[in-house]
Amino acid sequence: MSLERFLNQAVSSWMSAAGPDSDIVLSSRIRLARNFDEYKFPTLFTHEEAKMIIDNMEVILNQSPIQKFGQMELLKIEELQPLQKRVLVEKHLISPHLAEDSRYGAVLLTENEEVSIMINEEDHIRIQCLYPGLQLSEALDAANEIDDWLESNVQYAFDEKHGYLTSCPTNVGTGLRASVMMHLPGLMLTQQINKIIPAINQLGLVVRGIYGEGSEALGNIFQISNQITLGKSEEDISRDLKGVVSQLISQERSAREALRKTSNIQLEDRVFRSLGVLSNSRIIESKEAARCLSDVRLGIDMGYIDKMPKTILNELMILTQPGFLQQYAGGSLRPYERDIRRAALIRDRIKMEQEK
Amino acid sequence: MICQECNQRPAALHFTKIINGEKTEVHLCEKCAQEKGEMFIFNGESGFTFNNLLAGLLNIDPNFQKPSQSPFHQEEILQCDSCAMTFPQFLKVGRFGCSHCYEAFKEQLKPVLRRLHSGNWTHNGKIPKRIGGGIHLRKQIEELKSNLKDSINNEEFEKAAEIRDEIRKLEKNLAASHEGGE
């Protein structure tokens, strides 16, 4: 497969489009958890019930489709190849749980992949809207519209006191998880992040790295999301998160300015060394790739590097994960082979920009 | 002893990890331990999961320990009559079986929800349009009633009378919507 064709198929709109504050905020996501009233939750439901839920969704989709978000496609998990599933997970369109453990799992996807509706995951329905940049309220509006559309066709599990009833008590109430993906190299380089994270946790929000394991955040990419779903309105949850994110944006910007003033040449050196590594290496592990991509993105944002798209970090962080690399290669790869493939993919992608 | 992470400061914290009978000793200074803090708990050691946390939350509450402490009262096991999930089962998997479980385990759930959602235990957000008609009205009435109380306390009787009329109107609507076959 040619790189260009691969990119066309692989890159969803939230990865490549620009949004508000997209120098720091990579994407905003809203997720709503919903359940049908008359069926048992996925923990206990029978195969017949699971099938009926998918059938129901297919009927709704065929008989009273929602026009606004374009054509939707229903993918049944059991009909997908392992590699296809992995690619959907790496694009954040479905959860690992849906890909691996769900019975009769399925997903409804819009063409631009901004909207995905998971069926029979931990809850019967999980509506997800993923937008580029800081667009929480836009994503919430879209999710609400889809929610209203579904609700006009099915009976949701809802009670006045507990709100939307979910399989897990951590999601009950609004069923809302709002999250924002941020690139925070300035706060990492100035080592302020260790002070900021505990403060954010105290506000009922969670900060974690989305790539990498444990406490490390590969590529200086962090995800900030709400923990509390009960007792606050959807708008309040989204507004509170947005407030904290705006604070982080201004802190990150001033950290970058401080770095420019105090260690301009060191920073420039770091950026161009990383660009050198990405343009020339023949073997690269995901950890090193992530670090260099973060540096290069910072270099683009701060004006050291021009003629390079801002979205390169987001795009390559996703495309250099094992599933995508193997899809690009057209077969399974051992870890060592992946590192070679990864280096080649990144080199080719950078060359493509430079030849433009 | 020197901290094994930074090899500079003296180690202040000493852990012994035993995983599948394999013993590892860890010595860290306070600073490194703090930095590594999260890693020690979440570093792929799957013994520490959400379910354990949830069960932990429930067991702290004295209400749940009392019944089992008394040998003379054979406490009935709480069970959801719709999906047959028992309360101990719920504790084990951390997931409900169906929407009726919320009603069946209502009393036990309240403290859990409070802990999970920093003190909150009632919904304050979106209400589905179709099934929520009556709920919308009831919420509105509740709000008006509290306004009415405030107005009376502030001796704003004219305003109070207006609110009272509004409440009567809404209550009529509510009754009508019930008769209309909900």
- The nearest alpha carbon in chain B to A152 belongs to B130
CB nearest to A43's CB, from B38, B44, B97: B97
Mean pLDDT in chain A? 91
A166's tokens: 């979910």
Is the torsion defined by CA of A50, A53, A59, A65 positive or negative? negative
Mean pLDDT for the stretch of residues A221-238: 94
The reported pLDDT for the residue numbered B63 is 44
- For testing the chain B interface, which of A101, A120, A170 should be mutated: the one with the most B CBs within 10 Å? A170
**How does residue B39 score in pLDDT terms, banded at 50, 70 and 90?**
very low
- What's this model's pTM, rounded to 2 decimal places? 0.78
**How does residue A295 score in pLDDT terms, banded at 50, 70 and 90?**
very high
- B85/A44 CB distance under 8 A: yes
Q: Whole-angstrom Cα distance, residue A143 to residue A146?
A: 5
Count of alpha carbons within 13 Å of A116, Cβ hemisphere only? Answer: 22
Mean pLDDT for the stretch of residues A48-60: 92
CB nearest to B95's CB, from A43, A144, A233: A43
How many angstroms away from the CA of A33 is the closest CA of chain B? 13
Q: Whole-angstrom Cα distance, residue A228 to residue B113?
A: 10
**How does residue B44 score in pLDDT terms, banded at 50, 70 and 90?**
very low
Tokens 């920073």, residue located? A267
pLDDT exceeds cutoff 50 at B38 = no
pLDDT exceeds cutoff 70 at B126 = yes
CB nearest to B124's CB, from A122, A158, A233: A233
Which chain B residues have a beta carbon less than 8 Å from that of A214? 38-39, 42-44
Strand partners, A205: A226
Is the ipTM reported for this complex over the cut 0.85? no
The reported pLDDT for the residue numbered A81 is 87
Q: Whole-angstrom Cα distance, residue A301 to residue A259?
A: 13
CB nearest to B126's CB, from A37, A228, A234: A234
Q: Which residue has the higher pLDDT, A141 or B180?
A: A141
Assess contact for B156 and B163: CB atoms under 8 A: no
Q: Which residue has the higher pLDDT, B74 or A90?
A: A90
pLDDT exceeds cutoff 90 at A242 = yes
Assess contact for A79 and A126: CB atoms under 8 A: no
Q: How far is CA A101 from the centre of its chain?
A: 20
Give me the numbers of helices (H) and strands (E) for chain A, helices first please.
Answer: 13, 10
Which chain A residues have a beta carbon less than 8 Å from that of B129? 148, 151-152
Which chain A residues have a beta carbon less than 8 Å from that of B92? none
Q: Whole-angstrom Cα distance, residue B68 to residue B163?
A: 51
Cβ within 8 Å of B, A 10-69: 35, 37, 39-41, 43-44
Q: How does pLDDT run across A8-40, given as a tens digit for each residue?
A: 777 777 777 788 998 999 999 999 999 999 899
Strand partners, A108: A74, A117
Q: Which residue has the higher pLDDT, A1 or A38?
A: A38
Q: Looking at A104-108, A338-342, B23-27, B153-157, which range is the least confident one?
A: B23-27
How many angstroms away from the CA of B159 is the closest CA of chain A? 29
CB nearest to B122's CB, from A122, A152, A161: A161
Q: Which residue has the higher pLDDT, A171 or B49?
A: A171
- A173/B120 CB distance under 8 A: yes
Which helix (H) or strand (E) segment is B74 a member of?
Answer: none
